[in-house]
């Protein structure tokens, strides 16, 4: 059984998608459509940067989304069609589009607004995030509770890797406590806000109206949601979970294990980078994950057959 996995923010890199644009007419059409919808040259920022601009949340989110959806479309027309999909945080929007629950244009408009709102929330109420390595999930949950308010687990990425998020001082206290508790590494993350934490509540409030006005269709394949780590097919539920996702943790380890439990033994990471392949190897050895973010990788998969 085959799954598509879609990366989130921090997977972006200057040059992403340029080879796709140059070699595939389908990619050119979608990049050009994205530029038209957004009203600025997203393609130029993807291809040439600068990285400082590409890494701004309001740009990163539509950039990673567009690249990921383009890759999924290219794979599908070359015989690789998923039976189930999942995406990490922002990647859930790419997954929904690949599954047919969202149109490309609607998904792009949503992630642009999501990115803008998250960047704005980070300016109005600065926060911090950090990766805690080498501790059990329940230990990190406890340390956050003791260090708060406000600091919470934001991403359960893989066994021994949890990202925490919240107010700057509370995150610092939790990081210090994690070091004392035996964490192998504590890594502050270069982010513009405290994503997947209560500090993002204003984003959820503002995004709710936009989500409500967007048409969600029944996906052609199930989507494993970040909030529940379970497969979903109901459009209203998928919309609601996207809203909850803004302040809830990404349950990625559970999501990948759920895929394995449903019979997935092969997955393609559709989009820039190889972050999810790396996490997947630490979560389970039962799913073989292949990356597909470049023209060469897509053509190699096409030649290998479905």
| Region of residue 112 (phi > 0: left; psi between -120 and 50: alpha; otherwise: beta) | alpha
Q: Checking DSSP bridges between strand 161-167 and strand 231-232, what pairing results, if any?
A: unpaired
C-alpha neighbours within 13 Å on the C-beta side of residue 257: 12
Q: Is the dihedral of CA 61, 66, 67, 73 positive or negative?
A: positive
276 contacts 88 by C-beta, under 8 angstroms: yes
Catalytic residue among 68, 80, 196, 197: 196
Whether 67 is a known active-site residue: answer no
Structure-token match 């792009």, residue found: 108
User: Quick one: DSSP state of residue 274?
Assistant: S
First-to-last alpha carbon distance for the chain, in angstroms, is: 11
Query: What kind and span of H or E run contains 289?
Result: strand 288-292
Catalytic residue among 89, 94, 165, 253: 89
* CA–CA dist 52, 42 (Å, integer): 14
- Of 170, 163, 87, nearest to 126 by C-alpha is 170
177 contacts: CB under 8 Å, gap ≥ 6: 143, 146, 147
Whether 88 is a known active-site residue: answer no
> Which strands form 266-270's sheet, in the order they lie side by side?
231-232, 223-224, 84-87, 2-6, 266-270, 288-292
Q: How many residues does the chain have?
A: 306
| Enzyme catalytic residues | 89, 196
């Amino acid at each position: 059984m085959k799954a598509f996995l879609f990366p989130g923010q921090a997977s972006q890199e200057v040059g992403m998608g340029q080879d796709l644009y140059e070699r595939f007419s389908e990619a050119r059409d979608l990049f050009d459509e994205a530029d038209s919808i957004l009203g600025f040259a997203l393609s130029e920022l993807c291809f040439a940067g600068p990285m400082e601009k590409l890494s701004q949340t309001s740009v990163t989110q539509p950039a990673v989304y567009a690249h990921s959806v383009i890759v999924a479309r290219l794979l599908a027309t070359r015989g690789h069609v998923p039976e189930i999909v999942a995406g990490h945080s922002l990647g859930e929007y790419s997954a929904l589009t690949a599954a047919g629950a969202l149109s490309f244009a609607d998904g792009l408009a949503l992630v642009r607004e999501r990115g803008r709102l998250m960047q704005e929330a980070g300016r109005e109420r600065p926060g911090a995030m950090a990766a805690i390595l080498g501790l059990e999930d329940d230990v990190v949950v406890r340390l956050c509770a003791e260090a708060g308010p406000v600091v919470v687990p934001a991403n359960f990425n893989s066994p021994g890797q949890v990202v925490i998020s919240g107010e700057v001082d509370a995150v610092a206290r939790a990081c210090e406590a994690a070091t004392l508790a035996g964490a192998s590494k504590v890594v502050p993350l270069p982010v513009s806000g405290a994503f997947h934490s209560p500090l993002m509540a204003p984003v959820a409030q503002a995004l709710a109206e936009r989500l409500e006005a967007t048409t969600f269709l029944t996906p052609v394949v199930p989507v494993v949601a970040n909030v529940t780590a379970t497969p979903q097919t109901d459009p209203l539920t998928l919309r609601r979970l996207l809203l909850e996702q803004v302040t809830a943790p990404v349950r990625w380890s559970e999501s990948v294990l759920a895929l394995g439990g449903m019979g997935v033994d092969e997955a393609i990471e559709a989009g820039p980078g190889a972050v999810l392949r790396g996490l997947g190897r630490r979560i389970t050895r039962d799913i073989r994950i292949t990356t597909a973010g470049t023209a060469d990788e897509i053509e190699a998969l096409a030649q290998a057959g479905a």
